[in-house]
Structure 1
């Protein structure tokens, strides 16, 4: 694993660990902000808890677990995807800069919105990162290509061996008559 991955993954995960722990411990701090996003989502997804604070806790738990997995490099691709999914409602709930009246607050919320958008981009890159190992798609294509080549070689060797064997069989047949 490269030094960039060893350093970069924990750096990317740090924000999710801190924010997730705070959301698990103190969901009441962000529940009023999250209400506008949680309510429409829970109406459409029956598997989610009904209470806003419970949803905030669940989102925080996903961020803590995903952050730990990403930071340690264990199942980092699924962890990055889970963090990316958890970041979308967090961003839409907490950084609604388009609703701010005060120009200073609007600018501050826009900065946080764009920061989260940047983190989302980093998570998508991390979700696609195979850690310098070939991806499953590459491995499957490479294996299929090798199998086709091997089958072609077997076919050629069978054809090459069949002609002398057929000639020998014809000679034997003529000699035995």
Structure 2
């Protein structure tokens, strides 16, 4: 792991570990803030009515994702968990378009944009292969290697068949003489 990854992953993850732990421990206030969004999306997505439990689950996703990212164990999974949990958190907590007070609207817009930046970082973390080839490249490369080896094996088999045919022809000629 590079020095940048070793430093950047825990820095990005810290906010999610702290926020996730807070949401798991104290979901009440966050459940009140998330209530309008949950009232709209809950029936469409078939979510349970327990808003505090949903806030805790979202907080647990942030906590686990942050821990995975910070420790470097399954950092791509951690990045995905963080990204997935950050979307409803941002929509519920920083709906600046619903604010009428200009100062509050500006504050919430700043927080919304900050969360978009964190979402970008989490998405980058979710696709970072740590300098190693990703699964798609590995699968494509395995296909290329297999095709190349098959072509080589076929070429070798044709050559060996020709040699065997020549040897058989020589053996027949020797037997006739």
Normalised by the length of structure 2, the TM-score is: 0.93
Partner of 1:30: helix, strand, or coil? helix
Deviations 1:30-87 (A, max 9, x none): 11110112233332333x4321111111111111111111110111111111111100
CA RMSD of aligned residues (A): 1.4
CA–CA separation in structure 2 for the residues paired with 1:39 and 1:116: 22
CA–CA separation in structure 1 for the residues paired with 2:60 and 2:154: 57
- Cα contact 1:76–1:127 (8 A) shared by 2: yes
Instruction: Give the match for residue 24 of structure 2.
Output: 24
- Cα contact 1:39–1:52 (8 A) shared by 2: no
Instruction: Give the match for residue 5 of structure 2.
Output: 5
Q: What residue ranges of structure 2 are gaps of 5+ in the alignment?
A: none
Aligned length: 176
Comparing 155-164 with 73-82, greater Cα deviation is found at 155-164
CA–CA separation in structure 2 for the residues paired with 1:168 and 1:121: 67
CA–CA separation in structure 2 for the residues paired with 1:67 and 1:164: 64
Q: What residue ranges of structure 1 are gaps of 5+ in the alignment?
A: none
Normalised by the length of structure 1, the TM-score is: 0.93
